[in-house]
Every structure is written in structure tokens, then in C-alpha cells.
Amino acid sequence: MEGKDFDWEKELKNDANFDQKVPYNIDKIESALTNACKDLDHLNPYYTLVAAYEFTKFFEKISSSLSMGFSDITSKVEKMRRKFNRNPECKDIQKLITKEIELDIYKLNGNNNEKFGYKKDSEYGTYCSASRTFLRLLWFMEFLVEIFKTILADRKDDTIKKIIGDSYDKILSPRHTWLVRRAVGAAMFFGVSGSKEDAVKIIFCCDKYDDKARQKIIKIKDLLEKVWSAGNQFYKTCDILNLE
């Protein structure tokens, strides 16, 4: 994933990099986040999106029902990939969102665009903006950061259910509809089990929660938090953090 000959635009189009059947790879995440952090003012689409996509795979390792609860994240990554394929002049995430703001299409959600003046048969009649989509991915990143912070907290009796449940209640629940909260709650209730040590093994592929594992968790948490913070600050500067 590194080197001067690496063609990230080609790899962004390569479906093999965004395939749930490919085994989960924490090293791929660390490498992608490291590269994304090289220019936080111009977030690279491939590195940012492939890291977010790869993270979704560990939910399947915890519980198939939980994986279904977060399957919407993979669809949002796919929407972002299509947006960049259709806007090749945009080489970073901030550029694509800036373009939508300039065109005044950043609020469009694909379902009720008529209230913004776009009829269904018009160019943007069914357009769903990258601005809205990536904001939801930022929420997901913030949720992951909270999970990692909770794992790092000195609470040895925490379980996977408590770690993910508490993080969901703090970060995502206030932003989700009642139906989504109910679906996630049901997913948490059925089939989610395991200890904090199990969470470390599943998410970070470490044999046990020791100092070496802790340093790995801190590194990945810090990298992800930098990417999230850069995106969140950009949205704040553009005054679009509250997109519905």
C-alpha cells in the first residue's frame, strides 16, 4: 500500500480491496491510516475509505447479527467510491465536499430532493451527497475511537457487549432513529459475548492484552482519531456538521 508507484486511484476502483470475503487485516488498517495521516488537510479517498471498510469486518467476527447492524457502513463506503469515480478531478475528500457545497447539492439525500428544488427527473433529482455520506462515516470513526478508548480504560471486567454497547450509546445512539437503535439493540442482545481480552484478540489480532497489545491499540486509536478530527474540523469550518 506504499511506494511511489502505488496507484491509489486504480486501487480505489479495485473491488478486491472492498470485499467482505477477504479476511480481516489489522495491518492493512494501520498502513492505510498511516498514509491517510500524511496529509490531513487533503484526506486521501483510498486510504481513508479502505480503513473504514476494513474496520467493519471485525463485527462479523464478533457476531453475524452485529455485522448486519453495521452493514450500512459498507454501503456508505461504496457510495463514496462511486462519487470519486464520477468526479476524477477531485483528488481528496475535502475537495469533493467543497465541490458539492459550491454546487449547493451538499444537503441532497436522494429521497426528498424536491424540497431543495430538484425534481425527480432532473440531474440531481435522486442525488445523495458525499457530504452527508462521509459525515456518517465520521460518526462511525468516532464510535470506533470510543471503543478503543474504552478497551484502553483500566476496567478488566468489561465485556465485548459492554464495550460496544456503551460506545454505541454515547456516540451513535443520539444520532440514530428509534428503528435503527432498536435494530442495534437486538443485534447486541443476540449472540454478542466475550471478554475484553476477546475484544483485543478479535479487533487487534493480539494473543492477549499485554503492554505490546496496548501500544498497538494506542497507535491505531491515535491514527484514526487524527483522521476523524481532520474530517470533523473541516465539516465544522464549513458549518455542515448538522446535515440531516
Query: Which pLDDT does position 174 carry in this prediction?
Result: 85
Query: Which pLDDT does position 198 carry in this prediction?
Result: 93
Query: Which pLDDT does position 186 carry in this prediction?
Result: 63
> Cell 481532520 sits at which residue?
230
With H, G, I as helix, E, B as strand and everything else as coil, classify residue 124.
Answer: coil
Give DSSP secondary structure letters for 157-173: T-BHHHHHHHHIIIIIG
Q: Could you read off the pLDDT tens digit of each residue along the chain, which spans 244 residues? A: 566 679 999 999 999 999 999 999 999 999 999 999 999 999 999 999 999 999 999 988 888 777 777 788 999 999 999 999 999 999 999 999 999 999 999 999 888 888 888 888 888 989 999 999 999 999 999 999 999 999 999 787 899 989 988 998 999 888 877 667 777 666 666 667 889 999 999 999 999 999 999 999 999 999 999 999 999 999 999 999 998 8
Q: What is the CATH number of domain 8-237?
A: 1.10.3520.10
Query: Which pLDDT does position 187 carry in this prediction?
Result: 64
What would the grid cell of residue 205 be? 489480532
What would the grid cell of residue 207 be? 494473543
Q: Rounded distance, CA 186 to CA 239, Å?
A: 35
What residue spans define the domains of the chain? 8-237
Query: Which pLDDT does position 211 carry in this prediction?
Result: 95
